[in-house]
Homo-oligomer: A and B are copies of this chain.
Amino acid sequence: MAKRDDRPHVVILGGGFGGLAAARALRRAPVRVTLVDRQNHHLFQPLLYQVATSALSAPDIAAPLRKLLRRQQNARVLMADALDLDPDARTVTLDDGELRYDYLVLATGMKNNYFGHDEWEEHAPGLKTLREALDIRARVLRAYEAAERETDRAHQRELLTFVVIGAGPTGVEMAGALAEIAHRTLARDFDGFDPVKDARVVLVEGGPRVLPSFTEESSRAARAELEELGVEVRTGTRVGSVDAYGVTLGDAERIEAGTVVWAAGLKASSLTAKLGCPLDRAGRVEVAPDCTVPGRPEVFVLGDLLALEQDGKPLPGVAQTALQSGAFAAEQIENDVLGYPRRARFVYRDKGSMATIGRARAVAEVGSASFGGFLAWMLWVFIHLVFLVDFRNRVAVLLEWAYAYVSWQRSARVIVDAPQRRRPRRERARILASALEARDAPSDQQPG
């Protein structure tokens, strides 16, 4: 124990792609590592929408951090909430204690951004945690169940309308999966309506095209695939308000919807504000080229939290950025501790990007090549299986996908929570009236 206390203490906040990569890359360094996460698991975020759409169960895409780092002698895991940090005193305040660090790695990632309208969250959950994914799953499945019991035709159509706000990869994947649920999975399951005809999936995007970070060609291909699946794609459309009965679009249009999903924006977790250095509009940290906080070479920032440009473009908020910056930060810390010089800058290598739209449909961009269809989908499947962190998850997800491919079914059509009471109808008029009011006085912080 005495020996262990002499080694420099590296505190990593966050067990996502970045934090876990940093912890693992430090396995042979003469340091002691403490990885802190408020959850007990590493979450494979790119597949979270599949938990929300009943294709996978929660444990399929989550692995206990403690299990992942069990064999690493110099690392320990703490499940705790990091409430505060003091870069001068080099301490982190947890919900039940304090940690002193020699090196701090901030990898807490992003949270949903409602652009000043936090009251929308209740009606339009985002997709960042397992809890949110299971909440969306329950909302979708309950909407179909309520529609089966509904005799008022207009209200039934409302229950069967699903709106996804934001057409980045998550929004596109979510909308494609919701359309497949309506037109395939549940096609023959109801007596009171026909899911194929009566369900409606609307994808709303403020910008001019879906998948804005992809090439125009990929955007066009993705849009065509979505429309073929039956998704109504509404680009160039801003959201004016969200309430318990649907959304009001900026152009004065009203869509009554039983389920609304928020995939429109993210902001940095609030700890970045404690670093005492400049942040960008979304709260990301304006780091030095080596991912450290300016003037604090002992504090590294990873992944989505980086406000850093390369070749004139900001680093993308994807898993690769987190993985590569995590490994880079670990290397710098090890160099420091061993007395070697650090590297001056972090160089991100773009390995391409991809999004899946549905069964056997995807778009992929690797280098200057961009392609779609079945080949892109197979590549997507392969890459996602390879990057799943735990062998057990890899096998489970492969089998679920194989089953879904041959059966068109979804394995996790299970509502875990107790039945939710339906929203009282009498509140409806009041809420709609205030939605119309809000539309007439739009905020200038509109989601994209």
Contact with B along A27-70 (1 / 0, CB 8 A): 00000000000111100000000000000011110101011001
Residues of B within 8 A of A41 (CB): 413-415
Residues of B within 8 A of A367 (CB): none
Distance between A347 CB and nearest chain B CB, rounded to angstroms? 35
Residues of B within 8 A of A94 (CB): 149
Residues of B within 8 A of A130 (CB): 414, 416
Interface residues of A in 46-99 (CB under 8 A from B): 57-60, 62, 64, 66-67, 70, 76-81, 94-97
Does the CB pair B131–A418 fall under 8 Å? Answer: yes
CA distance A38 to B327 in the complex (A): 49
Q: Select A403's contact among B78, B131, B392, B422, beta carbons within 8 Å.
A: B392
A415: nearest chain-B partner, CB-CB: B40
Does the CB pair B39–A70 fall under 8 Å? Answer: no
Distance between A207 CB and nearest chain B CB, rounded to angstroms? 32
Does the CB pair B58–A414 fall under 8 Å? Answer: yes
CA distance A79 to B149 in the complex (A): 8
Residues of B within 8 A of A422 (CB): 95-96
Residues of B within 8 A of A353 (CB): none
A417: nearest chain-B partner, CB-CB: B131
Residues of B within 8 A of A80 (CB): 149, 419
Interface residues of A in 181-228 (CB under 8 A from B): 186, 188-191
Tell me, yes or no, whether A411 is within 8 Å of chain B by CB.
Answer: yes
Interface residues of A in 410-428 (CB under 8 A from B): 411-419, 421-422
Tell me, yes or no, whether A145 is within 8 Å of chain B by CB.
Answer: yes
Tell me, yes or no, whether A318 is within 8 Å of chain B by CB.
Answer: no
Tell me, yes or no, whether A409 is within 8 Å of chain B by CB.
Answer: yes
Residues of B within 8 A of A415 (CB): 39-41
Does the CB pair B411–A392 fall under 8 Å? Answer: yes
Does the CB pair B58–A131 fall under 8 Å? Answer: no
20 interchain pairs (CB within 8 A)?
A39-B415, A39-B419, A40-B141, A40-B413, A40-B415, A41-B415, A59-B413, A66-B189, A67-B413, A77-B148, A78-B145, A79-B145, A80-B149, A80-B419, A95-B419, A95-B421, A96-B422, A97-B149, A134-B416, A395-B403
Contacts A40-B414, A64-B414 known; 8 new A-B pairs at CB < 8 A:
A40-B142, A57-B57, A58-B58, A58-B416, A59-B413, A78-B148, A80-B149, A129-B418
Q: Shortest 5 CB-CB distances between A and B: which pairs?
A: A79-B145, A59-B412, A57-B57, A64-B413, A57-B59
